[in-house]
Chain A
């Protein structure tokens, strides 16, 4: 079974047409990979479907806009993957 990161990287590569080798756990989805907000919603849809979760994008955006959390917290892929794993674990518990 593919790791969460491998699944997410595959989704980003396919959805945003980014070569897979450019996508690393340290990649920032917006600053490094150039993913815009519209493309990120497409990626979120694919992640929601793949993992059976609902990424709380509105809450994350609000927290970033209000300065309560840095964007890296959500948009650096290793952090995004950790949040996906936490959402999956919360769903299963």
Chain B
């Protein structure tokens, strides 16, 4: 993870097209400017960045299932729960499940665990739109970085 660059996903572990589920892993860095403020002397990953991590896992799931034809943009977070603290060096397992594929939108349920213990979970909604100009290539580059493209497209 590079928190300050919003690179929340390190590696795609699996993408199951039949069950429409993705599993990814991420390791919280030992150091980050984020920890200088959150909180001085007591580094904790902010809940908003855990939400972003679940959203990115969900986004890559939607991208992979749709073959990178459209871009999912986060539009709603429901039922978010943060169950414990996350500090530097924690190995995160993130899963996202497609709950509903609507016309122009998608709904996922996502969760994060560490060593089998629940960290957080939420229901996320995305608006599905054509790629803004140039974003297609950026997303494909990121997808290659995390090992998604080789597996899905």
Q: Which residues of A contact B (CB under 8 A)?
A: 38, 41-42, 44-45, 48-49, 54-59, 61
Contacts and interface: CB of A to CB of B under 8 A. Distances in A.
Interface of B: 75-76, 100-105, 107, 125, 127
Secondary structure class of chain A's binding surface, majority of residues: helix
Nearest to B126: A41
Contact of A61 (B102, B104, B107): B104
B100 A41 contact: no
Q: Lowest 8 CB-CB distances: which A-B pairs, in order?
A: A57-B103, A58-B104, A58-B103, A41-B105, A57-B104, A56-B103, A48-B102, A54-B103
B108 to A, nearest CB: 12
Where chain B touches its partner, the secondary structure class is strand
Contact of B125 (A41, A57, A59): A41
A58 to B, nearest CB: 5
A59 B104 CA distance: 9
Given A42-B76, A45-B100, A58-B104, 10 more contacts: A38-B75, A38-B127, A41-B75, A41-B102, A41-B127, A44-B102, A45-B102, A54-B103, A55-B103, A57-B104
A49 B107 CA distance: 11
A45 B103 contact: no
Contacts of B100: 45, 48-49
A54 B104 contact: no
A38 B77 CA distance: 13
Given A41-B127, A42-B125, A45-B125, A55 B102 contact: yes
Contacts of A55: 102-103
Contacts of B76: 38, 42
A58 B105 CA distance: 9
